[in-house]
Amino acid sequence: MKDPGGTGVSLDQLIVDLATSLMGVGSDSEAAATSTALQQLLDFFNVDHVFLRRNDHTQGVSILVGEEPARPFIPDPDPLAVVPFEADPVFAASQHFKEPLIDYPNANEDYDKRVEEAAGQAATFAGVPLLDGTETVGALGLIKFGMRPWADDEIRALSAIATMFALLWGRTEAEKTVRHLAYFDMLTDLPNRQRLQEELDALHPDEPVSLLAIDVDNMSVINDGLSYAAGDQFIWEMAERLRKAVRPVDTVARLQGDRFAVLLRDISTDGADQIARRLCGELAVSVEVAGMSLARSVSIGVAHSTHGTDTLFSEADAAMQRAKEKGRKRVVVYDDSMRAGSLDLYETELELRQAIERDELLLHFQPEVDLVTGKVKATEALMRWQHPEKGLLPAGVFIDAAEASGLVVEIGDVVLDKAIAQLAEWQDIDPELEMWINISPAQLVSRDLASQVEFALIKHGVPAKRICLEVTEHSVLEDIEVTRGTLERLRTLGVQLALDDFGTGYSSMKQLKSLPITTLKIDMSFVAGLGVSAHDTAIVEAAITLANAFGLNTVAEGIEELDQLLELTKRGCSMGQGYYLCRPAAPEHIATLLGQPLDVPITA
């Protein structure tokens, strides 16, 4: 609809603008962002007053968060700033405000009297609740003196905007927790890579420092042979040993999985090398885990600040990799012979940061096809980098640099927004089409993914059921209690969830049944051996049987030949993707394939 206030902005654009402006707001800018948003509502809807109130159910009060315009005279103390629910029937009712409310002049005698006493004239009131689940956390109200009709689409828009404010509040209230999660490892509570990088960036350039990159050798033996819980306990014990083994001035960090780092400050190169050798011995001593005595050796790479601190991470990592190549359980100090590989990683990271800023990251898509009808049911979003010199690069070229630098989370954010935006464009061609989006392990544990997904859905006007988020079996099992909570919140939104690369991890039937997933994606390594290898064929059959038993869909990855497709359909696999059906392609080409069967044989 056209805007009543003559701002030149459509109602849909207003929602997009507010979603965009509120998405990145933190606690330090919440007040200013709220004031700006309320002013936008005032102007767009051509009303005389807009207010936002918050319910504190613990204290039993309603709190004025913001209003536009500000009242010309505000008593001190302001009687509307904090109002106990019990002090006023209107505020008491706001505790249980669940549906939009429109109050026209002469419709409510008690309300009309209150407004006329306050403003000297009758008014039309429109209010929508801010909900967090089933709890009313606040209210957004708009007042127009005299009669002001409200259309249904305006009220729906206000409800969407109220959801944005509720999500904003949830984010900023949790900001301290989220900030801690952003900078500290959840299992060990050690600083993570990003926090360590910021500490490195803050160092004086002349301060002598060394960085140790520590990798636990053959950690998979514990994870796979015992359990991920046992592996977590072992990593925690290693973290405690590291904490106690270094000086108070030093920093111990957990970078990822079985990898740690130690920043040694104000130390000579000989002193750092000596500490590294001592740690290599001390960390190899066995620890008690689940009633068993377990020991793992470590490989340690050492880098000194003789080349500056900018390349310490890549240099220490290169030295650690060299230690593993030489047989593990040893210390290797970085030297110039390793420079080429480490600089490649560092330079890729720098270019990748620029690529994000320049919007050089784009999406190609690979169809996921109904194996019975041949019709495209979904597309999987795949990241590409339009490099200014090297051309179009697949994700495999830069994913190592993205993961090592922590940029994988920011890149995941870009993919999420671009993919949902693309689906919005394709809805006119095929309203039943689904978009499948890969979620990295770091995204699962680093932030409130569910809120971010909800923001993107509102921003682009896409139904949640049209989105399927793919998570790998290993990333879910790495910290199953945390990831289960995130997955459950996503399913509550209505988003579908697929367990990717199924069969390559070690999920038990009990774990699988406890996860709120909707689809199993059978790994391409097993599809390749289907009908050829008895082992691979048995795994595919078991996955399909298990999925059917749990009421899940199945998607087979990596279909390269018609024979593989026929074997899959014979066994009841419902969907598939692979080069036989369609290679990944730009959105313009994919658009020509939608709403109709693909032009490839799907029967013998």
Outline which parts of the chain fall under CATH 3.30.70.270: 187-334
pLDDT value of residue 178: 58
Across residues 493-499, what is the average pLDDT?
A: 95
Please tell me which of 112-126, 339-353, 360-374, 522-536 the model is most confident about, judged by mean pLDDT: 360-374
Q: Answer whether CATH 3.20.20.450 is correct for domain 359-591.
A: yes
pLDDT value of residue 461: 95
Outline which parts of the chain fall under CATH 3.30.450.40: 11-173
Residue 308 reports pLDDT greater than 70: no
* Weakest-pLDDT range from 131-140, 288-297, 380-389, 456-465: 288-297
Residue 420 reports pLDDT greater than 80: yes
Residue 221: pLDDT band by 50, 70, 90 thresholds? low
Q: How does the average pLDDT of the chain come out, rounded?
A: 86
Residue 224: pLDDT band by 50, 70, 90 thresholds? low
pLDDT value of residue 373: 92
* Fold topology of 11-173: Beta-Lactamase (3.30.450)
The residues near 149 (Cβ < 8 Å, ≥ 6 apart) are 124
Residue 448: pLDDT band by 50, 70, 90 thresholds? confident
Q: How many CA atoms does the CB half-sphere of 49 hold within 13 Å?
A: 18
- What is the architecture of the domain spanning 187-334? 2-Layer Sandwich (3.30)
Structure tokens at 100: 């939009």
Among residues 441, 337, 336, 351, the alpha carbon closest in space to that of 393 is found at: 351
Bridge partners of 139, per DSSP, are 53, 129
Among residues 254, 198, 179, the alpha carbon closest in space to that of 448 is found at: 179
Residue 109: pLDDT band by 50, 70, 90 thresholds? low
Does this model's pTM top 0.75? My answer is no
Among residues 501, 491, 502, the alpha carbon closest in space to that of 467 is found at: 491
Please tell me which of 218-232, 272-286, 331-345 the model is most confident about, judged by mean pLDDT: 272-286
Q: Are strands 575-576 and 553-556 parallel, antiparallel or unpaired?
A: parallel
pLDDT value of residue 65: 94
Q: Tell me which of 220 and 150 has the higher pLDDT.
A: 150
Residue 177: pLDDT band by 50, 70, 90 thresholds? low
pLDDT value of residue 524: 86
Across residues 480-494, what is the average pLDDT?
A: 85
Outline which parts of the chain fall under CATH 3.20.20.450: 359-591
Among residues 20, 64, 41, the alpha carbon closest in space to that of 421 is found at: 20
Please tell me which of 215-219, 364-368, 411-415, 531-535 the model is most confident about, judged by mean pLDDT: 364-368
CA distances in angstroms from 34 to 6, 168, 234, 456, 541, listed in the order given: 22, 10, 46, 19, 54
Are residues 164 and 19 in contact, defined by beta-carbon separation less than 8 angstroms? yes
Please tell me which of 68-72, 165-169, 213-217, 435-439 the model is most confident about, judged by mean pLDDT: 435-439
Residue 107 reports pLDDT greater than 70: no
